[in-house]
Amino acid sequence: MDHKIAGALKILTHTDKEACETVKVTENEPVSDKKRLFIESYGCQMNFSDSEIVASIMREAGFATTSEVNDADLIFLNTCSIRENAEQKVRTRLKQLNAVKKRKPGMLIGVLGCMAERLKTKFLEEEKMVDIVTGPDAYRDLPKLVEEAGTGQKAVNVFLSREETYADISPVRLNSNGITALVSIMRGCDNMCSFCVVPYTRGRERSRDPRSIIQEATDLFHQGYREVTLLGQNVDSYKWKSAEVNGVSEEMNFARLLENVARISPELRIRFSTSHPKDITDEVLFTIKKYDNICNYIHLPAQSGNSRILSLMNRTYDREWYLGRIDSIRAILGEDCGISHDMISGFCSETEEEHQDSLSLMAYARFDFGYMFSYSERPGTPAAKKYKDDISPEVKQRRLAEIIELQQKISLERNLRAVGKIHRVLIEGTSKRSEEHFSGRNDQNKVVIFPRENFIAGTYVDVLVTECSTATLKGHVVSKVLA
């Protein structure tokens, strides 16, 4: 078959190079008698999910969302702190918003999330236009904080909780296509990777009551959603235990939760993120295999392919363990199972040989795509305290370029495997490049583009893939899947 290869790798371009720099804003709600809330969210899916919780809390307090900064009475920036340039983007944005605030003196500006938690009251000293600083576990307190800030006082709550999961709050689905939704199953992280700020900005792990998760996913299905992504910093460590009744308590791990959500309906697709290599079990893999509606896709961050570097990172697994998990995924779920990764170049003291180990791990695992970064030292982390950031920016960038180049090659090879085959795709909406084409994802989380014809978003279609790029698959529908 003559395969047509189109386009170039879409991830990690100069202008859109990092997942943590993704930005989403609220939409206009069609009401005229309420105060207006504008939320700009930076970073990971967890942040976007949190913004939906914030919107729900503030709706109860009498606010409706807007997509126009100039119309807002209250602006929240929900921030990311995982890399320095993500924080710099927020500071640049605040300077722009200060000009808006000067034209509208009654406007309040709040900084939420990880950056707020990391800097706490110091943020108010550095950014004078900010009125409210709130950490990820204090969102229930936002109406009171807004009221306090309205009197001219600075308002702060950065308390980290060991219990808060927001399980009882029904999120307002922001930027929703009405088809796919995020469902948070746990909060915080106990892993203490030496390079990472998350345990300090999001607190310790706590798992949400599974009954509330299953109910939320069920409600979404009845509302017409056809895909949910179960979210956690480390979903595989999900563990919930009920209170004892007559000496008996109920327990649930991630594999059982996954199964319970999958049983809601075979028409509801299930994805999840993120998995940790030390925790993902064969039980989870066999659960994926058992249910056709659990997608054959796993995001399994590696961070490095060298055991010494992994030890310095406190990842609690070595190269051999990681490759063993890759082997299990391939053995249980097959060679076509989609696997993506995170990889860091230039971590403290990384040698050229150790960098080569990362490349060889990628070559062995055959990742479908990846999120690839050069090391960025974060203040307050164990790595910043214990290790010298001794790899030059030039070497970091050169190593990163080699990692990206290899991933481009592997991504293309993996996508070529899809050409000439039929893939089930959930139609999510119009393609970004053409109103005449629809876009959706297949089982392996790959974007598939095809002529829209008379098909409807939110339905499943079988698409014959006829060409590919390193980032997308293209083809045409051969049949609509009947419910």
As a whole number of angstroms, the distance between CA 265 and CA 50 comes to 26
Q: Are residues 151 and 118 in the same domain?
A: yes
As a whole number of angstroms, the distance between CA 331 and CA 367 comes to 15
Q: Are residues 434 and 392 in the same domain?
A: no
For residue 202, give the nearest of 156, 161, 141, 230 by alpha carbon.
Answer: 161
Q: What pLDDT does 10 receive?
A: 30
pLDDT by 10s per residue, the chain, length 483: 434 433 333 333 333 334 345 677 777 676 667 899 999 999 888 999 999 999 999 999 999 999 899 999 999 999 988 888 889 999 999 999 999 999 998 999 999 999 999 999 999 999 999 999 999 999 999 999 999 999 999 999 999 999 999 999 999 888 778 999 999 999 999 999 999 999 999 999 999 999 999 999 999 999 999 999 999 999 999 999 888 777 778 899 999 999 999 999 999 999 999 999 999 999 999 999 999 999 999 999 999 999 999 999 999 999 999 999 999 999 999 999 999 999 999 999 999 999 999 999 999 999 999 999 999 999 989 999 999 999 999 999 999 999 999 999 999 999 999 999 999 999 999 998 899 999 999 999 999 999 999 999 999 999 999 999 999 999 999 998 866
For residue 302, give the nearest of 283, 282, 280 by alpha carbon.
Answer: 280
Q: Any idea what DSSP says for residue 443?
A: T
Q: Are residues 232 and 339 in the same domain?
A: yes
As a whole number of angstroms, the distance between CA 391 and CA 381 comes to 18
Domain assignment present for 58 = yes
Please state, as a whole number, how many other Cβ atoms lie within 10 Å of the Cβ of residue 24. 16
Q: Are residues 363 and 450 in the same domain?
A: no
Q: Are residues 215 and 303 in the same domain?
A: yes
Domain extent for 150: 19-157
Domain assignment present for 378 = yes
Indicate the number of domains in the chain.
3
Q: Are residues 246 and 116 in the same domain?
A: no
Q: Are residues 397 and 427 in the same domain?
A: no
Q: What pLDDT does 249 receive?
A: 80
Q: Are residues 291 and 367 in the same domain?
A: yes
Q: What pLDDT does 22 receive?
A: 63
Q: What pLDDT does 2 receive?
A: 39
Provide the strand spans (E) within 200-266. 206-207, 227-231, 239-241, 251-253
Residue numbers in the known binding site for [4Fe-4S] cluster are 44, 80, 114, 189, 193, 196
Q: Are residues 144 and 49 in the same domain?
A: yes
Q: What pLDDT does 481 receive?
A: 83
CATH code for the domain in which residue 136 is found: 3.40.50.12160
Residue numbers in the known binding site are 44, 80, 114, 189, 193, 196
